[in-house]
């Protein structure tokens, strides 16, 4: 297996691999260009994002600054919005359903490091995919950790640290996040 194949399958991989370094370099160039493109050039900004991501719906909008590792492992549904300073570490796949909203400074992290110091010091990494369902709203400063899957119509409170998966129609918050309410009208 290549290091990229290991990475995408959730195995231990070497992030210093030449192919992975080049893919991250390409993503950095595209995000730097996106972040520097004036708001008035909305079509150009949208096309840059669509060329960066694995797939997108037609209607997507992200405020700069935006940062990711690879971009090609991010799949976005229709009617997507991310506010300022969003970071998506897409070492594994990150999938968003339709009608997802992200507040400012949301962090979505698939990347993981070994717990044991010897393994961690080796420089090897691993990752777990993240899936966000349809009609989800992630509040500002929320963190979504590796392996999390949310159902549809989930609201993540501002500042929440989501360490496990949740089903449909819930409001979650806290650190670690827990169900604090049901979504009205569900």
Pairwise CA distance, residues 77 & 134, whole Å: 8
Q: How far lies 161's CA from each of 141, 148, 157, in Å?
A: 9, 11, 9
Catalytic residue numbers read 113
**pLDDT for 152:** 98
In this structure, which CATH number among 3.40.50.620, 2.40.160.40, 2.160.10.10, 3.40.190.80 belongs to the domain 3-181? 2.160.10.10
Q: Where are the domains of the chain?
A: 3-181
Q: Give the span between the Cα atoms of 58 and 80, in whole angstroms.
A: 9
Question: What integer pLDDT is reported at residue 29 of this predicted model?
Answer: 97
Helical spans, DSSP H, in 14-159: 18-36, 42-52, 117-121
| Predicted pLDDT at 39 | 87
Strand 177-182 to 170-174 pairing: antiparallel
Taking 70 as the pLDDT cut, the residues of the chain under it are 186
Distances (CA, A) of 117 to 11, 24, 48, 63, 127: 18, 26, 39, 37, 17
The model's pTM: 0.96
């Amino acid at each position: 297996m290549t290091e990229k194949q290991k990475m995408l399958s959730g195995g231990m991989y070497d992030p210093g691999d030449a192919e992975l370094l080049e893919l991250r370099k390409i993503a950095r160039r595209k995000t730097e260009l996106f972040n520097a493109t004036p708001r008035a050039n909305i079509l150009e900004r949208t096309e840059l994002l669509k060329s960066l991501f694995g797939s997108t719906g037609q209607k997507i909008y992200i405020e700069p600054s935006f940062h990711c590792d690879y971009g090609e492992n991010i799949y976005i549904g229709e009617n997507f919005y991310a506010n300022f300073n969003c970071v998506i570490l897409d070492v594994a796949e990150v999938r968003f359903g339709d009608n997802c909203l992200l507040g400012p400074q949301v962090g979505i992290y698939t990347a993981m490091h070994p717990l044991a110091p010897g393994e961690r010091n080796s420089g090897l990494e691993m990752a777990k995919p993240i899936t966000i369902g349809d009609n989800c709203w992630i509040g500002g400063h929320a963190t979504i950790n590796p392996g999390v899957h949310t159902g549809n119509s989930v609201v993540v409170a501002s500042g929440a640290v989501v360490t496990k998966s949740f089903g449909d129609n819930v409001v979650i918050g806290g650190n670690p996040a827990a169900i604090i309410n049901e979504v009205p009208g569900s």
